[in-house]
Structure 1
Amino acid sequence: MFTWIQLKSLLFLLFVCFGASSSNVATTARCEYYNDTLCQESKQGCFETQECEQPEPEKRNHCFVLWQNNSMGKPYIKLKGCFLNNIDCYDQPKCVEKREEPKKALMFCCCEGDMCNRNFTWEPVSTHSPPSAVPKPVTNISEDGLDVMVYTLVPVLILAIIIAAVYWFYRQRKLAYFNELPTIEPHPLPPPSPLMGLRPIQLLEIKARGRFGAVWKAQYKTDTVAVKIFPIQDKQSWLSEQEIFKLPHMDHEDILRYIGVEKRGDNLQAEFWLITAFHEKGSLCDYLKANIVTWTELCRIAETMARYFVSE
C-alpha cells in the first residue's frame, strides 16, 4: 500500500512529466495574415496579424504561406494566415517548402508557433531514386561519339574500297581486251563475209546519231536492215564492234543478228558500215530511256536476256 506521501510524490512526478512533454509542443494562436486579392483591391489584408480560432481537442492550429516564384526566381505571395490541423505541419517550427518546384506551380509551407509564417523558405529535396551502390564508370562523351563514328564509317569505307577495286579491275580487263585488238591492219582485212561486191543497200531513214556514228534504217534486197556508219576517224570503234560480234556464242536468236561490214568510199571520204538486223524500237537502252515498260514487257525482256545464259 502506498502511503499518502508516496502517492503525492507519484502524482507530482506524473505532473512534471506530462507538463514537460506538453510544453514541448508549440501552440499557435496568431499568424501573419496576407491576402493578395484584397491587398490589391482595397489595401486590406496586407501583412496583418490574424488571431486563430481555438481548435477542437486533439487538433492544432498552424500558420501557412502560399506563394509562387516568378520568372526571376523571386517569391510572389498569394496568401498567409491560420491553418487548421494538418499532420504535415506538426512540430514544424519553420515554414519550409521541400517539394521540387513543378512548372508554374504554387508553393506551400506550414509551421507551428506564433507568427512562424513571417519568414518562409524553399529547400527542395530531390525525389529521384538514389544512385546504385555500385559506382558506374565515368564515360567520356567525346570518346563514345568517336566510337560511334568509327563503327559507322569503317564499313562504309570498306564497301567504297571494294566497289572502287571492282570497277578498277573491270576497267583494266576491258582496256586489256581492247588493247589486244589490232590498231593497224598487218594484212588487208579479210571480208567479214564472202566478198561478192558491195551489197545493194539503200539507206532510207536516219534513226539515231551518237558519238561514234549514225544508225540508218536501210533496205537490203527484200529485208529491212540497220546500218551503223562510222566516219574514218572512228575506224577503231568499227573494228572493235566487229570483234565483239565475232566472239563465241554470239550467234543466238536473243542477240542482235550480225550481217556483215563494208567499207564505202576512199581516202578521206571513206565510211565504215556495220550491218545488222533492224528492230523498229531501236536499242534496249534508248527504249528504256524513252518509255515506261509494262509488267508484261519487263518479264519479256528479262526472259529473253536469261534465255541466252540458260541455253549456254
Structure 2
Amino acid sequence: MFYILFVVCWCLCHVSGVNPLNPETKEGLLRCVCSDCPSNECVTDGYCYVIFTLEKSGETTPYKSYENGCANKGSFINGFNVWCSDGKGAPQKLNETHYFMTMCCNTPLCNQNIVNNRLPSEWVKLSQETTTEEPPEWNLWHIILVASILLFLLLAIIVISLGWLWHHRKRNRRLRRGFPDVESVLDRSEVPLMGPHTPIRDVIELTSSGSGSGLPLLVQRSIARQIQLIEIIGKGRFGEVWRGRWRGEYVAVKIFSSRDERSWFREVEIYQTVMLRHDNLLGFIAADNKDNGTWTQLWLVTDYHENGSLFDYLMRYPVDTVGMIRMALSIATGLAHLHMDIMGNKGKPAIAHRDLKSKNILVKSNGTCAIADLGLAVRYESATDSVDIVHNNRVGTKRYLAPECLEESINMNHFDSFKRADVYALGLVYWEIARRCNTGGGCEEYQLPYYDMVPNDPTIEDMRKVVCIYKQRPIIPNKWQSCEELRVMSKLMKECWYQNAAARLTALRIKKTLANLGAHDDLKC
C-alpha cells in the first residue's frame, strides 16, 4: 500500500511540474541569466538560451556580441526548440555581413559562463545534448491508468493469498477429520521418491494397487507428460506409433486420431481391466489426452519392443523349430489369458480380441510374443450374462475374418462366438510363422494368408467368395509332414480354421498341446 501511495504522489508531482529530486528548480521552473531583465534573471519551463551575433569576412570570426534569456516550453515542438541550434549546424544568415546562432541549455543559470565571447567547450557539449526528446507529459489519464494497474495487481495478490490460506486451512481440517491427503496423492503421482532412473516395471509395482488393473490415473498422466517423442515407428488407420523416452527408458506411444476416439477409449478401458496384465499381452503403462487448442491428441503409452510386430519380424528373419514353438505357445498363452474368465472379488472378465493378426502381435527380445491392439475387444459380463460390445464403424481385418463374420451369421449375443473367431485368426497367424520355419532345408518367403487367392487389399466379397463359398484355406506344403513340430502345427491350424465354429479348438487347448510338444520343458507353463 505504501508503494502505491508513493507512485501516485510521484505522478502528481510530475503533473504539477514539481520535481522532488531537483532542489535547483522552483516549482518546476528553470532559472536563467537574462540580458533584458531588471534582475538579470528569468524563470522558464523550457530552456536557457544565448544568441550569438558574428561577422562573416572570409572565414568565421569570434562572436561579436551575444544576449541571453529564457525560452518557454511553448517554443518547442516534440522536445526541440524551433530556433535552437544543435551546436553542430552552420550559423543562420541575419543580413549581408552578419550571422547569428542560438544555443540552449537546461541547467540553472547555465547561460552565464561566457568567456571571451565564446561558450566554454563543456557548455557547448551540454548544449548539444539538450536537443534530446523530452519525456512525455503526464496527465490525469496517465495517473488513472497507472493507479488502476497497481490496484489490480494489489487485488490479485490479495486474492491469491486468501485462496492459498483458505486451501491450507481446508487441508488441515480434512486431515484432522481423517480424510486422505490430496497433496500426498499428487506428490505420489509425480513419483518423487523413486529417483530419475527407476525402471517402469518398478514404478508399476510400487504404485499399482495390486489388482493388476494398471497405474493410478494421476501416475499415468504424470508419466505421459514427461515422455519425449523421438521418431515414428509405425502408422495405421488409427493414427501413428512413436518411439518415446521416459527417464532414459524407451516406450511406445500410440497416438490416435480424434476421429478414432472410440477405439482409444475402448482400448484404455480394456487395459484398465482388473487382472489383465500378463507377460504375453502388451504391457500398458499410461493413457492421456492432450489438447493444444487446435486438436486433441489421444495417447496410449505401452512397453516398447524393438523387434516390432510379428509381421515385420517374419519379413526380415526366418525362425527355427524352437523359435516357432516359442512364438506359437506365447501367443496361445496370451490369448488363453484374454479369453479366461477369472472369478472373485479381483476377478477378470473374459475378453475377446476381434482383430488378431500378425501386425497386432509384437515380438519381445527373448523371442516370445505379446498380443496388442485391444481397440475392438469385447468383454463378457458374467453378472448380467451379456456381451459388452461397443458399436464401432471399424471391423476386424478382412483377410483374418472368420467365415461366420464374413457371412454376418455370427451370434453377437453369444460370447463364445467371438472367442471362436479369434481362434480362426490364430490359425492363420500360425500358418505365417510356419512358412518361415527353417528345418535345415530352407524356408518359404514370407506371405500373408490367402496371398495367392485374393488381391492385396481384398474386399469383404473377395474373402467371402474364397472362405465361405469355395471353402478355401491357406495351402499347407507336404514337406511340413517330415518335421514333427511342423506336423503338429499343421494339425493345429486345420483345427483352428474349421468352417463350423463350434468344432474349433479353444485357446487353452492349443496352449496345452504346444506346451507338451517334444522335449521343450522350458516352454511348458
Normalized per residue, the structure richer in strand is 1
One fold, TM greater than 0.5? no
State the TM-score bracket (shorter-chain normalisation): 0.3 to 0.5
Normalised TM-score (structure 2)? 0.21
Computing the radius of gyration from Cα coordinates, the structure with the larger value is 1
